[in-house]
Amino acid sequence: MSHRAGFVSIIGKPNAGKSTLMNALVGEKMSIITPKAQTTRHRILGIVNAEDYQIVFSDTPGVIKPHYLLQESMMHQVSGSIVDADLILFVTDINEAHDESDVLDKLKGSSAPVAVLINKIDKSDAEAVKAKVDYWQEKLSPKAIFAISATMDHNIRGVMDFVVENLPEHPPYYEKDFLTDRNDRFFAAEMIREQVFKQYKKEIPYSTEVIITSFEEGENLYRISAEIIVERDSQKNILIGKNGEMLKIVGTYARRSMEDFFQKKIFLQTFVKVISDWRSKKNYLKQFGYED
């Protein structure tokens, strides 16, 4: 029996719904989903295994014009995933007013077939959907166009079938019981970061990095310690909040997400640390896993 396997890159602007789509396709909560743009900073692989195929989905940071080193690293990851791809899913928000020229520029770097996924159609009407389909057909003449709603699971099955049909014949790239190339520490850090995005406004989430300093796996209990890194003392004060109230909220919600994810009791400790301007310093970006 022949086996198919391939790399499928999900690309698009920030907030187009890429992470929600990936989670719907993989069926596990892999990528942080928050209403803020630019939540995904790393390329995260989500792996779908069946007897005769393996799909390696790659959720990438949203395409932006980079303003500092961290963002440049994020854009390198997008370009890398486009070059690697056997198939590209280009996610665009039906209500997106801006043009997608920066995304289209990136697509020029690839010879892989492209499917356009017009997302969030639950927030639109049939006429607008048809107009967008016609627009993309003319602009890109892609291999396929799907009108989807990643949150409502609408047409996700169709996308999945399309992906499987267009995978090249290849043996599996990863062990068949792998769901992702990321380890548990990565997901623990992401769940804390998700809460930072949800609980704080303004620039705080973008100035924050989460480092897991220890991760002890007991049979019934995981003991996890994390450092939340910010760029300035004023951010540290906001993060901790009056009498530590805000940090407590972050810790509580992150712990619940982890218990849900790992199916274990979690003991979580969080500390806040200031490293001034880490987003612009190469050695810290490297340490935090952003440099190739």
122 C-beta neighbours (distance < 10 Å), count? 12
Asked if 42 and 77 sit in the same domain, the reply is: yes
The three-point CA angle 19-31-229 to 5° equals 125
Does the annotation flag 86 for ligand binding?
no
As a whole number of Å, the CA-based R_g of the chain is 20
pLDDT of residue 35: 46
Q: How far is CA 55 from CA 16, 30, 171, in A?
A: 22, 15, 11
86 & 116 share domain: yes
In this structure, are 197 and 101 located in the same domain? no
Residue 32 sits in a domain whose CATH number is: 3.40.50.300
User: How many domains does the chain divide into?
Assistant: 2
Neighbours of 224 (CB within 10 A): 26
Is 120 assigned to a binding site? yes
Is residue 28 a contact partner of residue 179, using CB atoms and an 8 Å limit? yes
253 burial class (0-12, 13-18, 19+ CB within 10 angstroms)? middle
pLDDT tens, residue by residue, 35-62:
445 555 455 667 788 889 888 887 666 6
The one-letter amino acid at 202: K
Does the annotation place 16 within a ligand binding site?
yes
Q: Is residue 18 a known part of a binding site? A: yes
Most confident range (mean pLDDT) of 70-74, 197-201, 234-238 is 234-238
Residue 15 is labelled as binding a ligand = yes
Q: What is the pLDDT of residue 25?
A: 82
Domain boundary (132, 165, 198) is at 165
Domain, as residue range, for 232: 184-287
Residue 51 in any domain: the answer is: yes
pLDDT in tens, 238-271: 899 999 999 999 999 999 988 888 888 999 999 9
- Do 158 and 47 belong to one domain? yes
Q: What is the pLDDT of residues 144-194, one digit of tens each?
A: 999 988 888 788 889 999 999 999 998 887 777 666 666 788 888 888 988
